Structure 1
């Protein structure tokens, strides 16, 4: 049975008739399909989010868990696409439907294009307000996330992922060693989005419309999300604005506090920024390995492997800065 036939059979009991199906560009970790349906006399677009071959990391969430996370986030007034129906399996892969949000997600456009200049002024406050709401989601409502993982647990998972790539990367190994030796205590536990950055936001002229891509969510230190926001790759060339290419680290932390978040020092932020660069370096290698192992043949995944060198260089730069301070 083809994908379209399976979806037709699934959607019919929900009162929808399938009209068209198109795979959306992007999505190196999960597939996204634009599904046009008819509901009585009206047409509407839905999005089907489905597993690709392999996994983004050893800690990646299932689609059923991502569905539950989006449900909890919506309840907490986080701007997210609303999930629909219930999780399903299509062609042997886990999936779920959600509403389609219009807007822009491409990071380099959001941080550079004049068309998004007004949104850039609004995004620092809006993204931090949404992040505080994420960190306030009751952990009991997403109990499948398990016990909060501190830095040592996360580092162990990264070491396993790097070992699975079966390649030597001394700069990343040095970064992991530094992270182990300098790990801060877990002072508070919260829902951590795990991939909170420009590129995973749906943005319109009025700013933030939705927070996307929850497959790396876990229970842990909320400061991890702030450090990830500052990883160099997510600035898309705007290194003058190190927090996502839209603001400074200091203004980001101020916006987070103003939204009701806890105070975070620049020293603690630096730790998690180094962690984020090491994490993405290993993540890029893991993505390329999915292609090389034949789990998901994709030029995009293969190309991602070269980004590891950029993350290695940034890790060494940050370590030199930190140790020389």
Structure 2
């Protein structure tokens, strides 16, 4: 691996930016792009320097010519990660935040955390058996820490109640101008129960699930992808973790396809989390299922600057799977 595939200016600008906090670094020896989203980019880089310095770092950035849609932005993401770090949540340590003078766009550079994010490998590889055995309980413990993070000063994060999320999702759905009886039933089911949902306000990760957790053989090494963080109800994270799409085929194990709900909730409560009922989890699981189902359908369409790709089209077709999942939740036959 080398830096040959990177934009010609990126290596020089990265080296200059990193030098602000680590003057021992003398070269970027490897640089590769890990993911390609509509807005944010993630790059893995290896740096070398004096005193045999050799480190691997991660760059997350939004290029200057890209606008952000439905995300909080890297400044708010970094603020949430720093606050989580102080609360002993396993997250990548942020080394620096980009400034306009760096000419790299908006974003930050963090430590690289080794591990695996591919759900199917985590579910099946014997090497991850210890991690699987404690996954649900560890998720509960980590979420309790996240939800206990003080929210004062996190002014960049939006506040999203259950009602506001249902309203926002309905607007997205209405904008498609494609009536769907399953989604209509789902909105009616949610709206009939929304008054019974608590209006707590804590730090919510917003996308806590298998695929956004770096897993080592002995357990969760880091919580990644904080771009949907917000202030809201803590049960949102618990419910979203159990959405069927994030079980990756192991539908009888609600927690990431490797654990059971009782272990998750027991560990969450034991670690200081609020008392949670299954009805609350089911409500947020239904809302999470609808969000993923409706929004994944949007991935098959060109939205603003984003081009339709084969990957987006394939994800878009999976919207119908979420419809079936929602019907199971409403009928009460979903574990």
TM-score by length of 1: 0.89
Matches of residues 36-51 of structure 1 in structure 2 within 5 Å?
A: 36-40=46-50, 41-51=52-62
Q: Which runs of 5+ in 1 are unaligned?
A: none
1:185 aligns with 2:192: no
1:227 aligns with 2:244: no
> 1:149, CA displacement in angstroms?
2.8
> 1:293, CA displacement in angstroms?
4.7
Counterparts of 1:234 and 1:192 in 2: how far apart (Å)? 18
Comparing 90-99 and 278-287, the one that deviates more: 90-99
Aligned to 1:269: 281
Counterparts of 2:78 and 2:59 in 1: how far apart (Å)? 11
> 1:287, CA displacement in angstroms?
3.1
Comparing 105-114 and 206-215, the one that deviates more: 105-114
10, 15, 22: which one aligns with 2:32: 22
> 1:238, CA displacement in angstroms?
0.9
> 1:185, CA displacement in angstroms?
3.3
Aligned to 2:4: none
Could you say what secondary structure the match of 2:250 adopts?
Answer: coil
Aligned to 1:285: 297
Counterparts of 2:312 and 2:214 in 1: how far apart (Å)? 22
Comparing 10-19 and 101-110, the one that deviates more: 10-19
Comparing 310-319 and 22-31, the one that deviates more: 22-31
TM-score by length of 2: 0.87
69, 74, 80: which one aligns with 1:63: 74
> 1:292, CA displacement in angstroms?
5.8
Counterparts of 1:248 and 1:208 in 2: how far apart (Å)? 16
Counterparts of 2:110 and 2:175 in 1: how far apart (Å)? 33
Aligned to 2:212: 200
1:10 aligns with 2:56: no
Matches of residues 78-227 of structure 1 in structure 2 within 5 Å?
A: 78-88=89-99, 93-146=105-158, 148-183=159-194, 184-227=196-239
Aligned to 2:313: 302
When the two chains are superposed, the root-mean-square deviation of aligned CA atoms in Å is: 2.4
Q: How many residues align?
A: 319
Distance 1:163 1:94, change over 3 A: farther
Could you say what secondary structure the match of 1:139 adopts?
Answer: coil
Tell me the alpha carbon deviations over residues 27-48 of structure 1, each in whole angstroms, 9 at most, x when there is no partner: 6773211011123231111101
Could you say what secondary structure the match of 1:242 adopts?
Answer: coil
Counterparts of 1:185 and 1:243 in 2: how far apart (Å)? 22
Aligned to 2:268: 256
> 1:156, CA displacement in angstroms?
1.3
Distance 1:294 1:268, change over 3 A: same
